[in-house]
Chains A and B, each alone.
Chain A
Amino acid sequence: MIQHFHNARLIDPEALTYEPGSLTIRDGRIEAVGGDAPEGAELIDAGGKCLAPGIVDWGVKIGEPGERHKESFRSAGRAAAAGGVTTIVARPDTLPPIDDPEALEFAARRAADAPVNIRHMAALTKSREGREMVEMGFLQDAGAVAFSDGVRTVTDTRLLSRCMTYARGLGALIVGHPQDVGLSRGAVATSGKFASLYGLPAVSPMAEVMGLDRDLALAAMTGCRWHADQVTVAASLPALRRARDAGLDVSAGISIHHLTLNEFDVGDYRTFFRFTPPLRSEDDRMAMVQAVADGVIDVIASFHTPQDEESKRLPFAEAAPGAVGLQTLLPAAMRLYHQGGLTLPQIWRAMSLNPARRLGLDAGRLAAGAPADLVLFDPDAPFVLDRFTLLSKSKNTPFDGARMQGRVLGTWVAGTRVFGETA
Chain B
Amino acid sequence: MFRARHLLGIEPLAPAEITTLLDLAETYVDLNRRTVKRSDALAGMTQINLFFENSTRTQSSFELAGKRLGADVMNMAVAQSSVKKGETLIDTALTLNAMHPDLLVVRHNQSGAVKLLAEKVNCAVLNAGDGRHEHPTQALLDALTIRRAKGRLHRLTVAICGDIAHSRVARSNLILLGKMENRLRLIGPATLMPAGVGDLGCEVYEDMREGLKGADVVMMLRLQKERMDGGFIPSEREYYHRWGLDAEKLALAAPDAIVMHPGPMNRGVEIDGTIADDINHSVIRDQVEMGVAVRMAAMDLLARNLRAERGAQFVAEV
Contacts and interface: CB of A to CB of B under 8 A. Distances in A.
Given A191-B196, A193-B200, A196-B196, A314 B88 contact: yes
A315 B112 contact: yes
Interface residues of B, number: 24
Nearest to B112: A269
B89 A315 contact: yes
Nearest to B174: A197
Nearest to A202: B195
Interface in A298-348: 310, 313-318
B110 A318 contact: yes
A140 B130 CA distance: 49
A268 B133 contact: no
A199 B171 contact: yes
Contact of A199 (B90, B131, B199): B131
**Majority secondary structure, B binding face:** mixed
B194 A316 contact: no
A200 interface: yes
Interface string A194-217: 111111111010000000000000
A199 B134 contact: yes
B168 interface: yes
A96 interface: no
Interface string A177-195: 0000000000000011111
Contacts, number: 69
A286 to B, nearest CB: 18
A419 B29 CA distance: 70
B111 interface: yes
Given A199-B132, A199-B168, A310 B195 contact: no
A91 to B, nearest CB: 27
A36 to B, nearest CB: 60
B165 to A, nearest CB: 8
A314 B108 CA distance: 12
A8 B173 CA distance: 60
Contacts of B195: 191-193, 195-196, 202, 204
B90 to A, nearest CB: 5
Residue among A194, A195, A269 having the largest count of chain B Cβ atoms under 10 Å: A269
Interface in B83-103: 88-90
A273 to B, nearest CB: 12
A191 B110 CA distance: 17
Contacts of A193: 195-197, 199-200
Given A193-B196, A196-B195, A314-B88, 16 more contacts: A191-B196, A193-B199, A194-B196, A196-B165, A196-B171, A198-B111, A200-B111, A200-B132, A268-B112, A310-B88, A315-B89, A315-B111, A315-B116, A315-B131, A316-B110, A316-B112
16 contacts: A191-B196, A193-B196, A193-B200, A194-B196, A195-B196, A196-B196, A197-B200, A198-B111, A200-B112, A201-B132, A269-B116, A310-B88, A313-B88, A316-B111, A316-B112, A318-B110
Interface of B: 88-90, 108, 110-113, 115-116, 130-134, 165, 168, 171, 194-197, 199-200
Closest 10 CB pairs of A and B: A269-B112, A199-B132, A315-B110, A199-B133, A196-B194, A193-B196, A191-B195, A199-B111, A315-B113, A192-B196
